[in-house]
Amino acid sequence: MTCKFTSFILVAKLLDCNTVIFVVELSQVFLIFQNKMGISVKDVDSHTFTKALSAFLKKSGKMKIPEWASIVKLGKFNELAPYDEDWFYTRAASICRHLYIRSPAGVGALTKIYGDRKRNGTVPSHYCRASGSVSRRVLQALESQKLVEKDANGGRKLTSQGQKDLDRIAAQVKEKTKAK
């Protein structure tokens, strides 16, 4: 891409989809600027990102998990507790990803998102919301890690530090998938 202006020429060159080098000519003086285009959460697969973020949250060791986490059902539509012992970290990672994409969101919105159909035997199934207590406790745990904060208009949103962490993890996931 070459753009001509009155006193200088701007040339941009695309290198490996992540780096753009700008060369500006001002009366025989060359200035080179390098702009790194960042990788966001939207650029990576949601499943691999959620797994990577949940591993990060577990490894950090700062998140406090409630004592009832091993026996709780995630909604009245479930028959059993989750099989995965690390479901709390996975749900926290999923909520962080949702807040990154569509923010702000409150407990009520999260109960709609994680709701499912309730099987009523021979009677037709109907939609039920997920547990509000689980969503609330996950949000409180994320607030204690300074990843999420309350929004002035209601609900919760990611903090700037939380957004940086999610972008960094997304870049790591992108590098791992690029290497394969």
pLDDT tens-digit readout, 148-162: 999 999 999 999 999
Element (H, E) at 15: strand 9-15
Domains and CATH numbers, the chain: 2-36 (no CATH), 41-179 (1.10.10.10)
Read off the pTM: 0.77
9 CB-near residues (< 8 Å, 6+ apart) = 2, 3, 24, 25
**pLDDT value of residue 38:** 81
pLDDT at 19 over 60: no
